[in-house]
């Protein structure tokens, strides 16, 4: 496995690597969720292709009050994990490799990024789009893998790729969960024991919502209230948002027809967790 | 020469074309200035490489009150001109090929695009960056050629390529002028006879400024006033801006040291013309 810290070295290293090249962009602190993205990348690349993982905690997607400095950076452990799942190339640039001191160009998505997480994190998706655009130009992959846990991010990246006419396949990988149902996240390690115990309520609430919808519930407002009430049963949970939207447009649904996304962000102490449930092809 | 209207056809056509691929993005209404860009592209591509010209009047770089509808579109004449200078491939997409009805992604440059033309055309550079980003992804060239007449555009594109880590060489081609000195522009054909006659004052004023700087003038304010006064000698000229700035940062110079850009935009009737003079490596 090659590890490159500079764009020049990465490009030189990739020149001799077989195509297709499939990229998994990460901020490190890798867990089983990331490894499932790597497996999806390997499936797309084939045994002969090249799987590239980037590890970069991107400052431009954190607001000043957010956890950029505290974000975990266990690089050696991450590299061991990458080796263990057969990653070919890791790109782990320093901040100054990715951003010139006078950097002045951003990529902006202005519809799908407005609601949900975009409301409480207004700079987040512009930061994500900009850094992913750079990574795409640096690595030049045929495909890239993103997790469905960050459902809105996946939608925004797909839109960016469509609107900027990028010849890159975006592959979605399903949410990976802990045994008790909590969606895997690098931020789960911030949780104290009691918060960690209560955080399972997010998945439980989404599971009940799934049962309700599959049982015929079609009123978005009632569904949202059910999820909110269930989460509020966990005393440490502070809801950022719970929304019932169309999974393509990410806009509120007047009523649930054949598809629905229930997306939520909830804080436990200073830790913000997200989760979602997407149901498509519902019976009328 | 191949002419493609769809992204799919263009990509299929380029697959069998030899590299390097060099792109000349244009809005059509081609004149000798554009042909000089094509010649620069051929020089970079070599006889064996591929020169691609895109012809697309990009709606997103026009404000509602500007001349998008009136902008000349002499397509067949443009194609003849392309053939005459050995262009290999022309890409001439319709608006809906380049923009989905719900397009929501923009590329934004936020320093170099603020002054000069950015002041009176606030959406211009974001429109240019966005469409050039798309064209780069569609054509995937090794290099692209832009004219120095649009000096600020060239600087903004270079910055975009740098900040988004694009492996594309940006080649600058010098301004091409009519025999009397007027910089060639597709918009010159809008000018009535008297405006056309008076428009030569732009070049004359820049030439006098060149003589002044080469003669030792180092005061930006005095230089600007000299250029303004000379242009105001043409009764039909209405100055949009005349600025004396650093040619890299495009910001005002406290005093002229070893380099200077004099950039201007002037209206004759409803026609807005731009021109500039860049002097580098000045003696102390």
For A256-278, what is each residue's pLDDT tens digit? 999 999 999 999 999 999 999 99
Domain architecture of chain B: domains with CATH: 2-173 (3.40.50.620), 186-278 (3.30.1300.10)
> How high is the mean pLDDT of chain B?
97
A102 CB neighbours in chain B (<8 A) are 111
Identify the pLDDT of residue A283. 86
What is the per-residue pLDDT across A135-178, written as a single tens digit (0 to 9) for each? 999 999 999 999 999 999 999 999 999 999 999 999 999 999 99
Partners of residue B102 in chain A, C-beta under 8 Å:
111
Q: What is the mean pLDDT of residues B166-187?
A: 98
pLDDT at residue B174 in the model: 98
Which pLDDT value is given to residue A284?
A: 74
pLDDT at B195: 98
Tell me what the mean pLDDT of segment B58-71 comes to. Answer: 93
pLDDT digits (tens, 9 = 90+) for A199-230: 999 999 999 999 999 999 999 999 999 999 99
- CA dist A66 and A71 (Å) reads 9
Question: How far apart are the CA of A180 and the nearest CA of chain B, in angstroms?
Answer: 38
* Structure token digits, residue A106: 């951003």
Q: What are phi and psi of B222, to 5 degrees?
A: -65, -40
Q: At what angle do helices A201-214 and A220-232 cross, to 10 degrees?
A: 150
How far is residue A142 from each of residues A5, A18, B21, measured CA to CA in Å?
21, 11, 19
pLDDT in tens, A62-118: 999 999 999 999 999 999 999 999 999 999 999 999 999 999 999 999 999 999 999
The structure tokens listed for A221 are 């407002």
Judge: A163–B138 Cβ closer than 8 Å, yes or no.
no
Q: What is the pLDDT of residues B127-162, one digit of tens each?
A: 999 999 999 999 999 999 999 999 999 999 999 999
Q: Does the interface predicted TM-score (ipTM) exceed 0.90? A: yes
Backbone phi, psi, residue B49, to 5°: -80, -175
Residue A231 has pLDDT above 80, yes or no: yes
Query: Which of A60, A104, A162, A169 to mutate: most B Cβ within 10 Å?
Result: A104
**pLDDT tens digit string along A46-71?**
999 999 999 999 999 999 999 999 99
Q: Cβ separation of A111 and B100 shorter than 8 Å?
A: no
Write the residue in B11, B104, B165 that is nearest to A137 by C-beta. B165
Residues of A in contact with B103 (CB under 8 A): 163
With CA atoms as reference, the chain A residue closest to B161 would be A105
Question: Per the CB < 8 Å rule, is A134 touching B162?
Answer: no
Among B130, B124, B137, which residue's Cα sits nearest to residue B160?
Answer: B130
Model confidence at B284: pLDDT above 90: no
pLDDT of residue A116: 96
Residue with tokens 């929501």: B104
Residue of B nearest to A156 (CA): B105
pLDDT at B82: 98
Chain center to CA of A130: 15
User: B283 pLDDT exceeds 90?
Assistant: no
DSSP string, chain B: -EEE-SHHHHHHHHHTSPSPEEEEEE-S---HHHHHHHHHHHHHHTTTSEEEEEE---GGGS-TTSSTTTS---HHHHHHHHHHTT--EEE---HHHH--TT--EEEEE-STTSSTHHHH-TTHHHHHHHHHHHHHHHH--SEEEEEGGGHHHHHHHHHHHHHTT---EEEEE---B-TTSPBP-GGGGG--HHHHHHTTHHHHHHHHHHHHHHTT---HHHHHHHHHHHHHTSTTEEEEEEEEE-TTT--B-SS--S-EEEEEEEEETTEEEEEEEEE-S---
pLDDT tens for each residue of B96-111: 999 999 999 999 999 9
The rounded mean pLDDT for chain A is 97
- The model scores a pTM over 0.90: yes
Q: Could you identify the residue written with the tokens 């993005």? A: B25
pLDDT for the residue numbered B3 = 98
Provide φ and ψ at A266, rounded to 5°.
Answer: -140, 135
Q: How far is CA A258 from the centre of its chain?
A: 25
User: Could you tell me the pLDDT band of residue A279, with boundaries at 50, 70 and 90?
Assistant: very high
* Farthest-apart Cα atoms in chain B, separation: 56
Closest of A233, A252, A247 to residue A276, by C-alpha: A247
Say if the Cβ atoms of A159 and B105 lie within 8 Å: yes
pLDDT, residue A233, reads 98
Whole-number Å distance between alpha carbons of B29 and B185: 9
Share of chain B above pLDDT 70, in %: 100
Chain B positions contacting chain A at CB under 8 Å are 7, 11, 98, 100, 102-112, 129-130, 133-134, 137-138, 140, 159-160, 162-167
B184 vs B178: CA distance, rounded Å:
6
Shortest alpha-carbon distance between residue A84 and chain B (Å) = 30
């Amino acid at each position: 496995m090659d590890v490159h810290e500079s764009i020049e070295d990465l490009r030189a290293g990739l020149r001799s690597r077989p195509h297709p090249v499939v990229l998994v962009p990460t901020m490190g602190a890798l867990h089983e969720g990331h490894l499932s993205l790597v497996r999806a990348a390997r499936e797309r690349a084939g045994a002969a292709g090249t799987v590239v993982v980037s590890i970069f905690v991107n400052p431009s997607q954190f607001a000043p009050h957010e956890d950029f400095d505290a974000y975990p950076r266990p690089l050696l452990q991450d590299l061991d994990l990458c080796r263990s799942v057969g990653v070919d190339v890791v790109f782990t640039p320093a901040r100054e490799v990715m951003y010139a001191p006078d950097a002045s160009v951003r990529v902006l998505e202005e519809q799908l990024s407005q609601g949900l997480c975009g409301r409480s994190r207004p700079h987040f998706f512009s930061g994500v789009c900009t850094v992913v655009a750079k990574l795409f130009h640096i690595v030049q992959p045929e495909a890239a893998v993103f997790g469905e846990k960050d459902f809105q991010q996946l939608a925004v990246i797909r839109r960016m790729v469509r609107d900027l006419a990028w010849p890159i396949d975006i592959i979605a990988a399903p949410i990976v969960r802990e045994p008790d149902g909590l969606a895997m996240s690098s931020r789960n390690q911030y949780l104290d024991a009691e918060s960690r115990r209560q955080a399972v309520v997010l998945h439980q609430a989404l599971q009940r919502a799934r049962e309700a919808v599959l049982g015929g519930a079609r009123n978005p407002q009632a569904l949202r209230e059910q999820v909110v009430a269930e989460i509020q049963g966990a005393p440490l949970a502070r809801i950022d948002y719970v929304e019932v939207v169309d999974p393509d447009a990410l806009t509120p649904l007047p009523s649930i027809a054949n598809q629905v996304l229930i997306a939520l962000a909830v804080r436990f102490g200073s830790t913000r967790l997200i989760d979602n449930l997407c149901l498509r092809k519902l019976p009328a």
